[in-house]
Amino acid sequence: MCATCGCSSDTHDHHDHNHDHSHSKKIVDVEQDILHQNNLLGERNRGYFEAKNILALNLVSSPGSGKTSLLERTLTDLKGEMDFYVIEGDQRTTRDADRIHATGTKVTQINTGKGCHLDAHMVMHALQGMKPKANSVMFIENVGNLVCPSMFDLGEKERVVIMSVTEGEDKPLKYPDMFHSSTLCIINKTDLLPYVPFNLDKAKEYIQQVNHQLPVIEVSCTTGEGLQDWYGWLKSKVLIEEEA
């Protein structure tokens, strides 16, 4: 059957058809990145952040590595030093946003439903609703997942991957894309090191193998150990306030 006009080509000849038409084939060179649309919106977000001198960070990890706990500590400890905003990404509920809200920080929750990652489009709409002030810091906490979020640029300046010592030290080898695309790695829950078989040296070796440029900071959000290093790194990334 002809897919265009629905005529049955085996019962009558096409060229006798009463509205004479011919089929033509044309090869189009598309050469377009499949994530092009997301990348465009990512760049749009990046331009927005740059224009307003906002430092945007994309926090990624597996579920339960301590992204939200790290944010709670950071927002509380650095309160008054910087203006913070948080975008929370989860499949369901506002539980994380509620925790952030309790620290007094402006937060927007994105529920992705079935989606396994945030994309630039969702972040764009969240920004339109939040209207963050200039010279601030925007944390975007991605959906807990070490696979898909690595592919989607949100327009962030820095991508921070968090792993914890209750996970295997071979996470960087098992999920290399995330570690390869990140600009900082935080190893969390170091207070539990005496109780778990996690090999810190091996973990760092694996991180270096996947991404030799990735700096590593060890922290414990429970005891506060190492958090000063993280705050130091964060402050070094904050851009100098522009004169009005």
Partner 1 sequence: MHELSIVMSIIEIAESEINKAGGGIADEIELDIGTLSTIEMEAFDFAWNQGIRGSLLEDAKLHVNRIEGKAKCLDCELEFPIENYYDSCPVCGGHFNQILQGKELKVKTITIQSTVDG
Applying CB under 8 A, the residues found at the interface with partner 1 are: 3-5, 19-38, 115-117, 119, 147-148, 150-151, 172-173, 176-177, 179-180, 206, 208-212
Q: Which is nearer to partner 1, 2 or 239 (CB)?
A: 2
Rounded to a whole number of angstroms, the minimum distance from the CB of residue 48 to partner 1 is: 22
Smallest separation, CB 114 to partner 1 (Å) = 8
The contacts of residue 33 (CB under 8 Å, 6+ apart) are 39
First and final C-alpha spacing in the chain: 68
**Beta carbon nearer to partner 1, 30 or 51:** 30
CB of 65 to partner 1, least distance (A): 20
Of the candidates 153, 181, 183, which has an alpha carbon nearest to the alpha carbon of residue 42?
Answer: 153
Nearest to 156 by CA among 87, 91, 233, 74: 87
Note whether 60 and 142 are within 8 A (CB): yes
CA separation for the pair 139, 34 (Å, rounded): 27
CB closer to partner 1 out of 109 and 150: 150
Give 137 or 187: the residue with its C-beta nearer to partner 1.
Answer: 187
**Smallest distance, partner 1 to C-beta of residue 41, A:** 12
